[in-house]
Amino acid sequence: MEIKLGVADLSAVDTDALVLIESEAGLRPDLAGPLAALYDSGEIKGKALELTLVHGVAGFEARRILVVGAGKPEKFDAALVRKMAAAAVRLLKGKGVKSAVFALEGERATAANVSAAAVGLITGAWEPDVHKTENKETDKAIDVFTVAGAVSEFSAALAYGVVIGEAINLSRDIAVEPPNLLTPTTMANRARAMAAVNGLPCEVLDRDRMAQLGMGALLGVAQGSAEPPAFIVMQYKPEKPSSDTHLALIGKGVTFDTGGISIKPSEGMEKMKYDMAGGASVIGTMQAIARLKPGIAVTGIVPAVENMPGGRAQRPGDIVTSLSGKTIEILNTDAEGRLILADAITYAKNLGCTHLVDAATLTGAIVVALGYTSSGVFASDDAFLAQWMEASKVSGEKMWHMPLDDEYREQLKTVYADIQNIGGRWGGACSAAMFLKEFSGDTPWIHVDIAGTAWLDDAKPFLAKGPTGVPLGTFVNLAMNWK
């Protein structure tokens, strides 16, 4: 789909569909007459993401008018624009529409809203049906979508949004793959291909190299699988750095998680193909970073493994030595994500990274705490946290700051090793984050638990079922607006 700027006179534009925004504050003057009956009957109320498609509206050349509700004016923001644009493309692409116009008029015509509209149009068009052989929703494409009411000064904003949208869809393309096709090796190859196209150095450490370095925590998880692990490192260095900051973005890459010897229940286990969603988001982020070129160095790290039971699998009671030198007692082999992240965090520190962020589908406990609306955020540094939360607000990815008090460390004490890999029943997301903090040390660090936000079990009006790409938007905004 081509996305461009243009169109001065909305009433005269010749297009298959014109998307107009209506809030709850009152009627649009240009629609109040020809659509009076729909307003009077309450069919059009202007509620957020309400969609009303009308054919042949008097006074407009467009063959269809799609009225999209914006809700209360005081809640209008770029995050809502993104959802409105995505909802519009998802509705219209199934109607035989090949050209459409999304109108941002008056005070709504801002750079932030133009970027958000571009992101929404691209992500809204994405479908998870790559492996279908017929009746594919992907085939119902819109050729050209024009963002109207925005002048040429917003061309950079539009291009920015396109980069973000394409990066999110790349991460979703990777995350939606079935585990028989997306092994750690395949994931590494996807990262290599992305890096080659975008001019990024990409190194993949194999099992032997990881063993030489001493990544015992990661290798303990991987040892039960016939599929070898892969440790993916993608690096971006600016030509003219704006600071000495070196940001590490670390994504959990468990391409399938059975739980290992501590095996999961069979119901819903197929969703564990998404246990690499954090890693997929990092790969997509590095594509966007390569194209947008922030002023700080950024390294993307994805420890990729498969967690399987078997004759060589890690056992509850095992003790492993991590890359940091700390020993870990394994009480539950299904608490594997924190093990591979521990070695990845240490590796990032050894590279000289000054700030660390990891994203992982880490715990079911975060879903109990926050549901499927917000990602849980844990941080060791208040200033770093403030930057992260601001970046998440700009991107429209909901985050909630979670506690990381010293008392959670008490749950991880063991007489047999330096630390054990699980705490007690209560506060599981917090004790898991505290485990990771043990390896970040004094380096400013943020952990984002995306177990409730990395994928959708059911489609939304603005997003298909499947992976969401979270927290790619926040990753990119953090790097691009570093303070």
Q: How far apart are CA 56 and CA 51, in angstroms?
A: 16
Q: Retrieve residue 386's tokens.
A: 């403030």
Question: Any idea which residue has 């479908």 for tokens?
Answer: 127
CA distances from 82 to 49, 58, 231, 461 (A): 11, 28, 34, 12
Q: How far apart are CA 92 and CA 47, in angstroms?
A: 19
192: annotated active-site residue: no
Q: What is the largest CA-CA distance in the chain?
A: 79
Alpha carbon 129 to its chain centroid, in Å, reads 19
Helices 155-175 and 184-198: crossing angle in degrees, nearest 10, is: 160
Residue pair 146/15 in contact (Cβ under 8 Å)? The answer is yes
Question: Any idea which residue has 């997929």 for tokens?
Answer: 280
Phi, psi of 342 (to 5 degrees): -60, -45
Pairing of β 64-69 and β 144-148: unpaired
Indicate which residue of 264, 291, 398, 409 is catalytic.
Answer: 264
Q: How far apart are CA 154 and CA 438, in angstroms?
A: 45
**3-class secondary structure, 460:** strand
Mind giving me the DSSP string for 9-46? -GGG---SEEEEEE-TT---HHHHTTTHHHHHHTS---
Pairing of β 64-69 and β 51-55: antiparallel
Residue 368 Ramachandran class (φ > 0 left, ψ -120 to 50 alpha, else beta) = alpha
Indicate which residue of 172, 338, 349, 437 is catalytic.
Answer: 338
Contacts of 407 (CB under 8 A, 6+ apart): none
Q: Exposed, middle or buried: residue 163 (CB in 10 Å: 0-12, 13-18, 19+)?
A: buried
273: annotated active-site residue: no
Q: How far apart are CA 278 and CA 382, in angstroms?
A: 23
Q: How far apart are CA 266 and CA 248, in angstroms?
A: 35
Q: Exposed, middle or buried: residue 281 (CB in 10 Å: 0-12, 13-18, 19+)?
A: buried
Residue pair 358/278 in contact (Cβ under 8 Å)? The answer is yes
Q: How far apart are CA 349 and CA 248, in angstroms?
A: 9
Question: Any idea which residue has 């988001």 for tokens?
Answer: 281
**Partners of 405 in the beta sheet?**
none
Active site residues: 264, 338
